[in-house]
Each structure stands twice: as C-alpha cells, then as structure tokens.
Structure 1
Amino acid sequence: MAKGSCACGEVKFEYQGEPAAKVACHCIPCRKTSGTTNSYNLMLPSDKYKILSGSLRTWTRKGDSGKNVTYHYCQNCPTILYVTGEAMNGINIVKVGTLDDEDVFENLGKPGLEIFTKNRPQWCDAIPGAQQKESGSGS
C-alpha cells in the first residue's frame, strides 16, 4: 500500500495495487499546473485510492473532448493530488510527485506512455521505450 500527501501535509492518501498505466502528459493544463514540461501520472482505479485525512477542493474545466476534467487539491495548499475526467470514468489520475514512500517512488520506473506530445518542447526528448501519442487518451 503506497501513501502520499500534499505539500502542507494536511491531505494524506493511500492506494492499493499497481497502476493501470504510468503516463507523462504534455497538455497545456498539465504544463501549467506542474510548472514544467509535463506531469507524471499514475492511472489508478478510483476504488483503490483513499483519502485518509484533510479536505479537498475541486476545479473543473472542459477537456479537449468537451468532457469535464476535475482537479482535486488540498483546501489549504495548492497541491493537486489527483485528477478525474468524464472521459476516464472510474480512474484517478494521481500526481506522482505527491507520493511519500521513497521506495515506491524510486521503483515506479519511467512512464510507458507520453500523451499530448504535440505540445512537448523540441528540446525535450521523448522517453525511450514509451508509446507516443500526439493527443490525449480521452481527456
């Protein structure tokens, strides 16, 4: 069971099992919310992810598909813990940087998929061995 938290430590979570996928996303909203070229995300079944403490706020936007994408973040600090989307019902898109367990963090390995590569900067190389998609996976 892996555990994680927000930057201030108010929100704590845990999840069970292996992620369905490990995805680097270069979409513009991920670039903006991560403050870098992409976000690294674990695709986890919602029933395997549990908030243990703290309160979350949400913000919703329309994805490229026209469906809602909702960000779940600590009400005290701006840490986005996970994202949900109507196009990916039953999946929590968990931000890898929120993991507290260093062994889990180190053993995740690199993403197997990069999405929205059309937005990847030219100076940012593709992840070797990762599947590449110009657009998203239903966002």
Structure 2
Amino acid sequence: MAKGSCLCGDVTFEYQGEPAAKAACHCLPCRKTSGTTNSYNLMIPSDKYKILSGSLKTFTRKGDSGKNVTYNYCQKCPTVLYVQAEAIDGINIVKMGTLDDEDVYKNLGKPAMEIYTKNRPSWCQAIEGAQQKEGGS
C-alpha cells in the first residue's frame, strides 16, 4: 500500500496495488499545475485510492475531448493530489510527486508513455523506451 500527502500534510491518501499505467504529460495544464515541463502521473483505479485525512477542493475545466477534467487539491495548500478525467472514467490520475513512501517512489520505474509531446520543449529529451504521443490519446 502506497501513501502520500499534500505539501502542508493536511491531506493524506493511500492506494492499493500497482498503477494501471504511468505517463509523463506535457499538456499545458500539467505544465501549469506542476510548474515545470511536464507532470508524472500514476493511473490508479478510483476504487483503489482512498483519502485518509483532510479536505479537498476541486476545479473543473473542459479537456481537449470536450469532457470534464477535475483537479482535486488541498483546501489549505495548492497541491494537486489527483485529477479525474471523464474521458478515462474510473481512474484517478495521481501526481507521482505526492507520494511519501520513498521505496515505492524509487521503485515505480520510469513512465511507459509520454503524452502531449507536441508541447515538450526542444531541449527536453524523450523518455527512452516510452511510447510517444503528440496528443492525449
């Protein structure tokens, strides 16, 4: 069981099992929420993810598909813990940087996919061996 939290520690969570997928995303919203060139995301089935403490706020926008994308973040600090996209129902897109368990974090391995590579800066190298997609699907 992996555990994680937000920056201030108010919101804590855990998930069971292995991620269904691991992806680096270079879309503009991921760049903005991560403050860097991309975000590393773990696709965790919603029924395997549990908030243990704290309260979340949400922000919803329309994704490229026209479907809603909802960001779940701490009420006290700006940490986005996970995202839910109607286009991939039943999955919590967990931000890898929110993991607290160093052993889990170190042993996850690199993402198997990079998406929205059309937005990747020219100086940022592709992840070797990862499937490359210009868009999100």
Same fold (TM over 0.5): yes
1:24: which partner in 2?
24
The number of equivalent residue pairs is 137
Q: Any idea what the Cα deviations from partners look like across 1:24-47, whole Å, max 9, x if unmatched?
A: 000000001100000000001000
Stretches of structure 2 lacking an aligned partner (at least 5 in a row): none
Give 1:75 shift: 0.4
Which residue of 2 is the match for residue 109 of structure 1? 109
Question: Partner of 1:31: helix, strand, or coil?
Answer: helix
Superposition deviation, residue 132 in structure 1: 0.3
Q: CA deviation at 1:103?
A: 0.1
- The answer as to 2:123 corresponding to 1:123 is yes
Give unpaired runs (5+ residues) of structure 1: none
CA offsets per residue over residues 71-106 of structure 1, 9 Å max, x none? 000000000000001101000000000000000000
Normalising by structure 2, report the TM-score.
0.99
SS in 2 for 1:52: strand
TM-score, normalising length: structure 1: 0.98
Q: Which amino acid aligns with 1:128?
A: E
Q: Give 1:7's aligned residue.
A: 7
**Root-mean-square deviation over aligned CA pairs:** 0.4
> How far, CA to CA, are the matches of 1:87 and 1:34 in structure 2?
21
Question: What SS class does the counterpart of residue 31 from structure 2 fall into?
Answer: helix
Q: Equivalents in 2 of 1:18, 1:105: separation in Å?
A: 12
